[in-house]
Amino acid sequence: MTESGMKPALWHGVPRSKIDWHPTVNDEKCIGCGLCFLTCGKGVYQFDWDRKKSVVIHPESCVVGCQTCANLCPAEAIAFAEEGDTPQKKAQRIVKKYKVLPSAKKELELMQS
Ligand code: SF4
Ligand code: SF4
């Protein structure tokens, strides 16, 4: 339980708060088109109307492995991995590090039963 009494959000059994997966916006590159804010269905972004920039306000709401907003960004202003790394490799490391496959198998079995 969290301090608020809410159950922590889990991703295949792993507390979401442990997982480093969220977009980072490069303000200098962002042209303020709002596409990421308008597209993300998880409320990760807020739009700063004064600065005309998208701002990440709920990073832990980002779906692990998703990078739709980065794919759509016309300015290539959104990153999920450090320079020299790739989002795909980073996502694969997360899957391995947290041993997600046994959990996924159990989830599939429950769906079948
Ligand atoms: S899609 Fe890219 S350019 Fe458009 S608001 Fe988001 S970060 Fe900025
Ligand atoms: S990667 Fe997907 S879930 Fe995460 S902020 Fe972008 S659109 Fe939203």
List pLDDT tens digits, range 58-70: 999 999 999 999 9
90 lies in some domain: yes
The CATH number that applies at residue 46 is 3.30.70.20
The total number of structural domains that make up the chain: 1
Give the 3-state secondary structure percentages of the chain, helix then strand then coil, rounded to 5: 35, 15, 50
Query: Average pLDDT of the chain?
Result: 95
Domain-embedded: residue 1: no
For ligand 1, atom 6, the nearest C-alpha belongs to 36
Query: Which atom of ligand 1 is found nearest the CA of 47?
Result: 5
Range of the structural domain that residue 82 is part of? 10-112
Atom of ligand 2 nearest to the CA of 78: 6
On whether residue 5 sits in a domain, the answer given is no
Look up the pTM and report it: 0.91
CA 79/CA 85 separation, integer angstroms: 10
Q: What is the tens place of the pLDDT at every residue in 67-85?
A: 999 999 999 999 999 999 9
Cβ of 44 closer than 6 Å to ligand 2, yes or no, is yes
